[in-house]
Structure 1
Amino acid sequence: MTRVINLLYANLGLALLQAALTFVFYGQLVAYQAHGSAAAYSVFENTTWIRPVAVSLVSLIYVGIARNLRKGRRSTYIRVVVISVLGSLGLAWGISLGQFPIWMEILMALQALVLVALFVSAMRPSVRSQFGRKSNGNAQVAA
């Protein structure tokens, strides 16, 4: 369980680093994405803020996710598995677009690797057994 929570926080750390670097290098990032097009510059100027702001808001949720994992909540465990799958696929898709400078793609790749490791760790039998379905005691025994 500790490994899952550590990987969850590692993912968050990489996302926050990327968000901070997006703020610091905002102008260069928008210019890179626009490739010299004034129309594209205007679009990227407005949309480049979405990811770092979203990551900052999600960081508040991660603390609750870690706390609920420690409490053994199955719904939170499922949420972590979904985050790891969709997050790694989304990052891979983002890298494949080629719209980001190499430093950002490297951070995205590292984050995707952490999410894959999170999935693998969460799917280990010792972790899965902590979040198994609770039987309600009303199940009938087959004769």
Structure 2
Amino acid sequence: MTRMINLLYANLGLALLQAALTFVFYGQLVAYQAHGSAEAYSVFENTTWIRPVAVSLISLIYVGIARKLRSGSRATYIRVVVIAVVGSLGLAWGISTGQFPIWMEILMGAQAAVLVGLFVAAMQSSVRSQFAKKSAVTA
């Protein structure tokens, strides 16, 4: 379980790094995404900030997820598996769109790799058994 928590925090660290770099290179990122179109520039100028803000807010949730995993919460374990699957697929899709500069695609690829590692760690039989569904005791 410690490996899962470490991978959760590694994913969070990469996401926060990407968020910080998005703020630092905001103008260049918007210009890259707009490909010289003034109309597209205004769209990306209004939407590019959403991801880093969302990641920053989600980071607060990750601390609670790690705490609940340590306490053995099955629902949280399932959430982590869903985060790993949906997150890695979403990042792969984001990379495939070609809307991001190479530095961002590399960070997204690293984050996807961490999430795949998180999924693999969560699927280990020793981990799954810690979060197994409790069977009802019959009298």
Give the TM-score normalised by structure 2. Answer: 0.99
Aligned residue type for 1:49:
W
Moved over 3 A (4+): none
- 2:30 is aligned to 30
Runs of 5+ consecutive residues of structure 2 not aligned to the other structure: none
Q: State the alpha-carbon separation in 2 of the partners of residues 50 and 24 from structure 1.
A: 14
- 1:91 is aligned to 91
Runs of 5+ consecutive residues of structure 1 not aligned to the other structure: none
Aligned residue type for 1:23:
F
- 2:12 is aligned to 12
- 1:113 is aligned to 113
Aligned residue type for 2:24:
V
Greater Rg by CA:
1
Q: State the alpha-carbon separation in 2 of the partners of residues 92 and 6 from structure 1.
A: 22
Q: State the alpha-carbon separation in 2 of the partners of residues 107 and 36 from structure 1.
A: 24
Q: Matches of residues 1-143 of structure 1 in structure 2 within 5 Å?
A: 1-138=1-138
Aligned residue type for 1:13:
G
Q: State the alpha-carbon separation in 1 of the partners of residues 3 and 131 from structure 2.
A: 15
Q: State the alpha-carbon separation in 1 of the partners of residues 103 and 49 from structure 2.
A: 17
Aligned residue type for 2:22:
T
Number of matched pairs: 139
Give the TM-score normalised by structure 1. Answer: 0.96
Q: State the alpha-carbon separation in 1 of the partners of residues 32 and 42 from structure 2.
A: 12
Instruction: Calculate the aligned-residue CA RMSD, in Å.
Output: 0.8
Secondary structure at 1:136's aligned position in 2?
A: coil
Secondary structure at 1:128's aligned position in 2?
A: helix
Q: How far off is 1:61 after superposition? A: 0.1
Aligned residue type for 2:127:
V
Q: How far off is 1:138 after superposition? A: 2.5
Q: How far off is 1:79 after superposition? A: 0.1
Q: State the alpha-carbon separation in 2 of the partners of residues 127 and 64 from structure 1.
A: 19
